[in-house]
Chains A and B, each alone.
Chain A
Amino acid sequence: MIMTAPMPEPTAKAETRDRVANPLPGRVEFNATKAVPDPSLRMDYIRVSNFNFFYDQTAQVLFDLNMDIPERQVTAFIGPSGCGKSTLLRNINRMNDLIDGVRHEGDILINGHSIYDPYLEVISLRKRIGMVFQKSNPFPKSIYENVIYSLRVAGRKKKSELDDTVERSLRGAALWGEVKDRLHDSAFSLSGGQMQRLCIARAIANRPEILLMDEPCSALDPIATGKIEELIHELKASYTIVIVTHNMQQAARVSDRTAFFYLGRLVEYDETQKVFMNPANPQTEAYVSGRFG
């Protein structure tokens, strides 16, 4: 039996075999699609330890929280309103200290050091932690002055240092190209998405170690949201990022780890892929699938 069906070109076959032997150069292997942390980075960079928090002597809002937040990854806090996710976030830089009558039990450690250490100055702690809020809150100053505000407060005057900080921070916040020709215009001349990126630039001007973001995109349109999400993805190379979000798709998109809170308790905390594909707790499954209620 001799047949002459057309055969594929030999070069194409050889190339195919090469690709199979060495599948898709430069690509991550499938099992590596979940976040593989750099072993040199601390997995307990922020450690929440037996943490309880009360707004007054009786109103407890956080219950016995224990979690390790890894360095230079994005950790998302999700959960319904009132679950305590923002309260925990605001404890990380001790912003809740500003409220009368609050008290806590347990501890939060950053890089092994308690943030409640009586010898620690709260100001120096907050210098290490940038914060971005739901509503962008630029100061009534120019774009330039907004970025270097913290340096001005610290008494820094050297123009080259200030200029460098403005450029570095605005570039880091993916805003430089859009504003470099109008740095001395009012910050209020920017769009909502640009103002939020200006606030991120201001937050990273001090070279903090941690960026806390409390629903940073909830007041933005999808295009501005997309830009902020891209920025978060880039910033995690340099910063440990904790983001509170009501948008579960956003948590799924931008975070490496996700924590689900309910009624002040940590219900589930795991790799984002696990939480959104196969959560261990039925309450988590109900929440992420929109069945919660």
Chain B
Amino acid sequence: MTQNIQKRFYHAELQELRDHLLLMATLAIESVSNTIQALESFDMDTAERVIRDDDQLDELEIRIDAEATRYISLRAPVASDVRLVMVAMKASHELERIGDEATGIAKRVMRLVGESRFGGTGRIKEMCALVLAQVRDAVRCLIDQDAPRAAGIPMRDKQIDEMHKEHHILFSDRIMDDPTKAGSLIELIFISKALERIGDHATNIAEEIVFLYQAEDIRHTDRVKRS
């Protein structure tokens, strides 16, 4: 049977859907990477580029939804084909949200430029590295069709959540110590929160990848319990 795989003209449409999802994932990685770069160096140009490039993610989300709806309506997909269509719709939504969070960070970086009154940034640098690794690994698993590795990604999100809790306490304490720094410190709390949310979206994508390649729904199971 496997010797006689019949190529159908409409399977190219499924490949196109997958290509668009991978393109969107690549752009989301770039968006996170750029916003971290902007945060590291307070680089206005890079921050502006993150904000500007977000339109591409929005457009791809709409395109993927339309292509998926059309494929379901006209091609009646089953088995791994229908999982790919559903995962494309859900993962593209997560990627679009990643882009929004990255854009939010970029806007806050632009507001922080010139501010030097907020002292240290806690473990933001470390958190950035972890979040970027989560997003990259999730996308890598999508490209490599590696469900076992994807299944390990959600557990790693706990560390990012803990860092955010630490930041929340750290920056809140500093505000109480010196209310004149409140504006900048609140921005840092929101940046930490946005990084934590990006980690959540990467986790959700990883869970979808397990569903795509192993037909197993691991959401809200002990395998992915993070707290």
Residue of B nearest to A15 (CB): B26
Q: CA of A228 to CA of B40 in the docked complex: distance in angstroms?
A: 60
Contacting residue for A16 out of B26, B66, B133, CB 8 A? B26
Query: A99 on the interface (CB 8 Å rule)?
Result: no
Residues on A close to B: CB < 8 A?
1-8, 12-13, 16, 19-20, 23-24, 27, 30, 33, 223, 226-227, 229-230, 233, 249, 252-253, 272-273, 276-277
Contacting residue for B8 out of A16, A24, A230, CB 8 A? A230
Q: CA of A233 to CA of B13 in the docked complex: distance in angstroms?
A: 14
Contacting residue for B10 out of A16, A227, A253, CB 8 A? A253
| Contact of A6 with B74 in the complex, beta carbons under 8 Å | no
A sample of 14 inter-chain contacts (CB < 8 A) reads: A1-B121, A1-B125, A3-B36, A4-B40, A5-B33, A6-B129, A8-B33, A16-B23, A20-B27, A30-B67, A226-B6, A233-B9, A272-B74, A273-B70
Q: Known: A3-B39, A24-B16, A33-B13. Is A252-B76 also a contact (CB below 8 A)?
A: yes
| Chain B residues positioned under 8 Å from A20 (CB to CB) | 23, 27, 56
Q: CA of A4 to CA of B37 in the docked complex: distance in angstroms?
A: 8
| Chain B residues positioned under 8 Å from A12 (CB to CB) | 26
| Contact of A8 with B40 in the complex, beta carbons under 8 Å | no
Q: A7-B33, A249-B76, A277-B74 are in contact. List 10 more A-B contacts (CB 8 A).
A: A1-B39, A1-B125, A2-B41, A5-B132, A20-B27, A24-B16, A33-B67, A229-B8, A253-B75, A272-B74
Q: CA of A249 to CA of B72 in the docked complex: distance in angstroms?
A: 11
| Contact of B41 with A5 in the complex, beta carbons under 8 Å | no
Q: Known: A3-B40, A3-B124, A33-B67. Is A276-B30 also a contact (CB below 8 A)?
A: no
| Contact of A27 with B26 in the complex, beta carbons under 8 Å | no
| Contact of B70 with A23 in the complex, beta carbons under 8 Å | no
| Contact of A30 with B33 in the complex, beta carbons under 8 Å | no
Q: CA of A274 to CA of B164 in the docked complex: distance in angstroms?
A: 48
| Contact of A30 with B76 in the complex, beta carbons under 8 Å | no
Smallest Cβ distance from A35 to chain B, in angstroms? Answer: 12
Q: CA of A16 to CA of B128 in the docked complex: distance in angstroms?
A: 22
Contacting residue for A277 out of B16, B27, B69, CB 8 A? B69
Chain B interface residue number, banded = 35 or more
| Contact of A13 with B125 in the complex, beta carbons under 8 Å | no
| Contact of B73 with A277 in the complex, beta carbons under 8 Å | yes
| Chain B residues positioned under 8 Å from A33 (CB to CB) | 13, 67, 70
| Contact of A30 with B132 in the complex, beta carbons under 8 Å | no
Cβ proximity bits B1-18 to A, threshold 8 Å, 1 near / 0 not: 000001111100100100
Contacting residue for B128 out of A3, A227, A277, CB 8 A? A3
* Residue from A5, A230, A273 with most neighbouring chain B CB atoms (10 Å): A5
Q: Known: A16-B27, A24-B16, A233-B9. Is A2-B40 also a contact (CB below 8 A)?
A: yes
* Residue from B74, B121, B133 with most neighbouring chain A CB atoms (10 Å): B74
Interfacial residues of chain B within 59-73, with CB under 8 A of chain A in the complex? 63, 66-67, 69-70, 73
* Residue from A4, A24, A27, A33 with most neighbouring chain B CB atoms (10 Å): A33
| Chain B residues positioned under 8 Å from A7 (CB to CB) | 33, 37
Q: CA of A252 to CA of B75 in the docked complex: distance in angstroms?
A: 7
Query: B29 on the interface (CB 8 Å rule)?
Result: yes
Q: Known: A3-B125, A20-B27. Is A273-B41 also a contact (CB below 8 A)?
A: no
Q: CA of A54 to CA of B69 in the docked complex: distance in angstroms?
A: 41
Q: CA of A223 to CA of B6 in the docked complex: distance in angstroms?
A: 8
| Chain B residues positioned under 8 Å from A13 (CB to CB) | 30
Residue of B nearest to A23 (CB): B23
Q: CA of A2 to CA of B120 in the docked complex: distance in angstroms?
A: 11
| Chain B residues positioned under 8 Å from A276 (CB to CB) | 73-74
Q: CA of A253 to CA of B75 in the docked complex: distance in angstroms?
A: 6
Smallest Cβ distance from A220 to chain B, in angstroms? Answer: 13
Q: CA of A8 to CA of B33 in the docked complex: distance in angstroms?
A: 7
Q: Known: A30-B67, A277-B73. Is A5-B16 also a contact (CB below 8 A)?
A: no
* Residue from A3, A227, A229 with most neighbouring chain B CB atoms (10 Å): A3
Smallest Cβ distance from B115 to chain A, in angstroms? Answer: 11
Residue of B nearest to A7 (CB): B33
